[in-house]
Chains A and B, each alone.
Chain A
Amino acid sequence: MKIDDSFFKTLVDKMNDYGIFSIDSKGIIVSWNAGAEQIFGYKETEIIGKDVKLLYTEEDNKEHIAEKELTIAEKRGTAGDERWHIRKDGTLFWATGFVIAMKDDNGDVIEYTKFVRDYTSRKLQIALPTNTVDVMESISDAFFALDKDFNFIYMNKKAETVLNRKQKDLIGHNLWEKFNEAVGTSFYDNFIQSTKTGTSVYFEDIYKPLNKWFRVHAYPSKDGLAVYFMDITKEKQSELILQESEKRYKNLYDTMIQGVIYYDSNGHIISANPAMERILGVSADELVSKKKIRDSWITVNEEGFPFPSTEDPIEVSLKKGKKIKNVVMGILLSEDSEYRWLKIDAVPQFLPGSKKPYQVYAIFDDITEQKRTQHMLDMRLKLQKAISRLGHLALSQQPLHELFQEATQQLSDILQVEYTKILELQPEEQNLILRAGIGWNEDVKPNISTVGMGANSQAGYTLMTNKPVIVKDLRTDKRFNGPPLLKRHKVISGMSVILQGNDGPYGVLGIHTKVKRIFTSDDVYYLQSVGNMLALAIQQNQTEQELRDSEEYLRLLAETIPQLVWITRPDGYHEFYNRRWYEFTGLSMTESEGSGWSTLLHPDDIDRSWKTWKHSLETGEPYEIEYRFKDRATGEYRWFLARALPVRDSNGEIIKWFGTCTDIHEQKRTLEELERSQKQFSALFSSSVIGVLYCDLKGKIYNANDAFLEMIGYSRNELEAGKIYWDKITPSEFKQSDQTATQALMQTGVAPAWEKEYIRKDGSLIPVIVGAALLNKESTETIAFVIDNSERKKLEARKDEFIGIASHELKTPLTSIKGYTQILERIIHQMGDDRLKLYLKKTNTYIDRLNSLISDLLDVSKIQAGKLQMDYSRFKFSELLTDGIESMQHTHENHSIELKGDVDASVYGDRHRLEQVITNLLSNAIKYSPRANKVTVEVKKANKVITVGITDYGIGIAESEQHKLFQRFYRVEATAKRFSGLGIGLYVSSEIIQRHGGKMWVESTPGQGSTFYFTLPITKNLQV
């Protein structure tokens, strides 16, 4: 529209001599311009609303010419008009013109615009042709006259100009010769027809050789043809352009995004385009029925005030006849919706010659979105400025109250409200205290004045609702009891939002007005934003305080504890170490920072440590790991237990990691040892054989295993009840040995095993072997191991008993027999009976043999019981040997015992036992060589060892049997039946020699004899 506007205007200007008026589809005149008034004589006010037929002659009306014109225009878009019309004063005038039909989208005619020109003068001239050249020349149309053969007989100057030919070139010449291109055209046809029929013709056509449009009137006469014509090229072009423009305009009108509304000269809406419908959301008909926008809806100006009628662009445009541009108007289309913002141009429409617009059209853009965006941007800018300003204050760590002062002032300025306030919640006092405010009376003082909680104040209510509270009218608001403070200040509207602190709400931010104010969503948004920003500052303030407190505390703590202490950022960057760290690691501050700590790790621990550390950083789980750090003093790795916990702010965000490294090197090693020892011990403790008990040196028994309890016959309950004391279960005769053990414990920490007895619960005694070790010198905690010794004791007792009984019971009668025999010997000796003497001597020999057998048997028992006693003395070995041989020779006369060699050495030993050995060996030699008559004894000394070999020439011993000879009760199988004996002699002899530090062995050849050897060391102190 804007584009075509100027052109359209130009067009209308060019048609100043036209009367232009519009007719609706029913033939009623709806508009009337100044030109029409001039031509027809009717004033606009007189003719509007009248039927167009008023302007036609009675004859034409009978033929429905007016309707026909419109019908043609409707069909073809335009219709020519050339006829008589009636002026207001009743006079007729010849009019030429045309009608244009204006159609809507559906092709239906909205209205017709008729263009009319007064052509009376020309009509008269044509109707009453004169032959005078003056007349011809004076007329404005071109004219030429033709004879019957179409030869030029006259042409005026105008014709020369229009046809671009000279009179002299054409006069006397044939038209069709001179203009042969016209042959066959409408010109030709019309001229021929006119002359033939004798009727005048009127037509318009283009003459192509000249590229000109002509409007031609040809009047035939008996002399020829008079042709009036005029160049209407421009007119035609204009007409076409107009048609084109109209079409384009129409299209534009329909399709443009801008809304267009037509107003009549009264400022009433006539029509509107589809864009209007879209923008305003009402149909064109609906809008037309409303007549005026400002009467139908609330309209505001850019400042939000009711739109003043004096600035209504339509009114102004109509009144001033001027185009009004860029008027912004907000229309509240419904109560629920927001303002729809229009940017309006009002363009007045004039009829030719009229200075008063006959209509105005408003063309408008919907700038709601643009305005909203702009508004938002403005608000954001404001906000950003405010936040930037307040944020700066917050960051500069100014006291909160200064920030509050600034914020309340800003709010007051930006939102144009009379009162602003910041209240802090005092939960304990059950009220809210004023921290800052603007606009309040003097008696309302920050940090003193308070308002109530809950529904007793707007602030209290805000805290309850937990969202922004908007009060349209305090006087009618039923949500809370309008607090005295607000009522006293005549507050009507207001808003309040919660200020969130770190731990729940800090308080409330509020604004209030004395006049009724509808707060827009932007206002709410802004207030909330300031509130959020303040909350941020409050939280930051609180957090910073907490942070300062916690960090100072952490670092103070770090220096006081003996471990290596470190603090990292949430990302794990080490930013602090205590002095101990630097002392231990020898690293500088810069070397330690960041991840410098890991360079000290034992290579085997690096991966594991990083993995664990990263896991903790990602999850926030406590960090705990054991790893090795290099000790700068020794260069050795030491085990550390590293632990770290996240330090969180009140929002739960990790702000630091606080970590320690504790040297656990010794503990770890000790622990390993302990673990092993504990494992061993626990096996011991659970042993069913060894009794284990814990006690102190005062004799209090703390704990004992089942084995011990079983030994002493008490239950665990009795132990736990403290019924068992060392003294209580120890017979008095062992107090002394216990005392000795206690002293050993005190002095050396260990008491060598000692034998003692315990008194069992049933009063019986149990012999035990006890060993003890002091665990803790101060508490005298002692562990004792107890072995049940009763079986061994029983066995020992039985062996002792056996030996005792055997000795007593066997030897006692033997003693009597021997005694009586000897008494008898004495008596018979006096009687001198040789035979009796011999028998008694033999009896004595057998008694000795029996005694010897009993002794051997007892010796075996003693050896077994470890009770073979030695009675050491120093004596000459050779004497022993000689005595032994002589003693044997005395009772065994069949064999001669030959002694070879001699030793001059004294030995330290049990003479009796050694003689027993020699006797045993000699008696064996004799016994097992019954067919021989000789036994050889050889003695020698070498390297302080006496070696004695006793050789017989008897049956000998197989090699396989030789080593078994010295076993107890062993008897050579093959000879056992032939030779009596217990098989204990060699066993006892061998034991006696071993007890003297010597050896005994045999060399033998079966069937040839054997040699039994033994050695005796000559050392002074024999091993006993």
Chain B
Amino acid sequence: MSTKVLICDDDEGILEVATIVLEQAGYQVTSLHSAENIVQIVEQVQPAVVLMDLWMPDVSGETATKRLKASPTTKHIPVIVVSANKDTEIIAQRAGSDGFICKPFDITDLEKAVAKYSK
């Protein structure tokens, strides 16, 4: 049973790139366009790691991360925040994230990060 990775990003391209890269690397990828109901979905999917875009309409990555970290059922799941602004790393950390990837990223960096947090 392959490791599950959940990716949440409102950008279609990034979702596809990440899915392609990670699936090729052997992960079972679930992609989400929105962070709405994130806790319920993560509970349901039970991924090994969550890749969370920070800048999203409606529910932001920050809020979603907070929710995940606030829920006893999901708080143990590592969350890697992905953001175009390196300066937002601190926001991500405060929200409870475990890792941070800056856009644009090398796909190898993505593979390394997921590998690291999904162990």
CA distance A812 to B14 in the complex (A): 7
> Count the A residues whose beta carbon is within 8 Å of the partner chain — how many?
27
What does DSSP make chain B's interface, helix, strand, loop or mixed? helix
Interface residues as binary, A794-830 with B (CB distance below 8 Å gives 1, 0 otherwise)? 0000000001100110111111111110110010000
Using an 8 Å CB-CB cutoff, how does the interface string of B78-98 with A read, 1 for contact, 0 for none? Answer: 000001111111100000000
Does the CB pair A823–B103 fall under 8 Å? no
Given A816-B13, A819-B14, decide whether A811 and B87 contact each other with a Cβ distance below 8 A: no
- Chain A residues contacting B55 (CB-CB under 8 Å) are 804, 807-808
Which segment of B17-25, B31-39, B40-48, B63-71 sits at the interface? B17-25
Of A811, A813, A817, A851, most B-chain CB atoms within 10 Å: A811
Choose from A807, A815, A871, A912 the contact partner of B105 (Cβ within 8 Å). A815
Q: Is A180 in the interface zone, CB < 8 Å from B?
A: no
Q: With A814-B103, A819-B104 known to touch, is A803 a contact of B17 (CB < 8 Å)?
A: no
Q: Does B58 contact A (CB under 8 A)?
A: no
- In the complex, A862 has a CB within 8 A of chain B: yes
Give the chain B neighbours of A826 by CB distance below 8 A.
107
> Residue of B at shortest CB range from A869?
B87
Query: What is the bound-complex CA distance between A819 and B105, given in angstroms?
Result: 8
Q: Find out whether the CB atom of A823 lies under 8 angstroms from the CB atom of B84.
A: no
Q: Give the total of B residues in contact with A, Cβ under 8 Å.
A: 23
Q: In chain A, what residue has the closest Cβ to B13?
A: A816
Contact between chains at A812 and B84 (CB < 8 Å): yes
B13, B16, B85: the one within 8 Å of A804 (CB): B85
For the complex, give the distance between the alpha carbons of A810 and B17 in Å.
Answer: 17
In Å, the complex CA distance between A796 and B17 comes to 34
Partner of B107, one of A804, A819, A912: A819
Chain B residues, Cβ within 8 Å of A813? 11, 13
| Contact, CB under 8 Å: A815 / B87 | no
B residues less than 8 Å from A818 (CB atoms): 104-106
Specify which chain B residues have a CB less than 8 angstroms from the CB of A815 in the assembled complex: 11, 13-14, 17, 84, 103-105
How many A-B contacts are there with CB distance less than 8 Å?
A: 75
Q: Which A residues touch B104, using CB under 8 A? A: 811, 814-815, 817-819, 847, 851
Least CB distance, B15 to chain A, in whole angstroms? 9
With A811-B104, A822-B106 in contact, is A816–B85 under 8 Å at CB? no
Identity of the chain B residue whose Cβ is nearest the Cβ of A822 in the assembled complex: B107
Given contacts A816-B11, A819-B13, A819-B14, whether A811 and B86 have CB atoms under 8 Å apart is no
Q: Tell me whether A775 is interfacial, beta carbon within 8 Å.
A: no
Binary per-residue interface labels of chain A (405-419) against chain B in the complex, 1 for a CB within 8 Å, 0 otherwise: 000000000000000
How far is A146 from B72 in the complex, measured between Cα atoms in Å?
Answer: 209
Are A819 and B21 in contact, CB atoms less than 8 angstroms apart? Answer: yes
Known: A808-B55, A814-B104, A815-B104. A820 touches B13 (CB 8 A): yes
Please name all residues of chain B whose beta carbon is closer than 8 Å to the beta carbon of A820 when the two chains form the complex.
13, 17
Residues of chain A with a CB closer than 8 A to B108's CB: 822
Bound Cα distance A817, B11 (Å): 12
Given contacts A807-B55, A815-B103, A815-B104, contact A858 B14 (CB under 8 A): no
Is B103 within 8 A of A803, CB to CB?
no
Report chain B residues within 8 Å CB of A807.
55, 83-85, 88, 103
Question: B17 touches which one: A816, A862, A871 (CB < 8 A)?
Answer: A816
Q: Are A819 and B85 in contact (CB under 8 A)?
A: no
CB–CB B83/A823 < 8 A: no
- Rounded to whole Å, the gap between the CB of B63 and the closest CB of chain A is 15
In whole angstroms, what is the CA distance A123 to B105 when docked?
203
A807-B104 Cα distance, complex, nearest whole Å: 10
Is A931 interfacial (CB-CB < 8 Å)? no
The distance in angstroms between the C-alpha atoms of A826 and B21, with both chains bound, is 10
Interface centre among B84, B89, B103 (most CB of A within 10 A): B84
Q: Which residues on B sit within 8 Å (CB–CB) of A912?
A: 86
**Residues on A with beta carbons closer than 8 Å to the beta carbon of B87:** 803, 862, 867-869
- 17 interchain pairs, CB-CB under 8 A: A807-B55, A811-B84, A812-B11, A812-B84, A813-B13, A815-B14, A815-B17, A815-B103, A815-B105, A818-B104, A819-B107, A820-B13, A822-B107, A847-B104, A862-B87, A869-B86, A871-B86
Other A-B pairs beyond A811-B104, A822-B107, 5, CB < 8 Å: A814-B104, A816-B14, A822-B108, A826-B107, A869-B90
**Taking beta carbons and an 8 Å cutoff, which residues of B are in contact with A?**
11, 13-14, 16-18, 20-21, 55, 83-90, 103-108
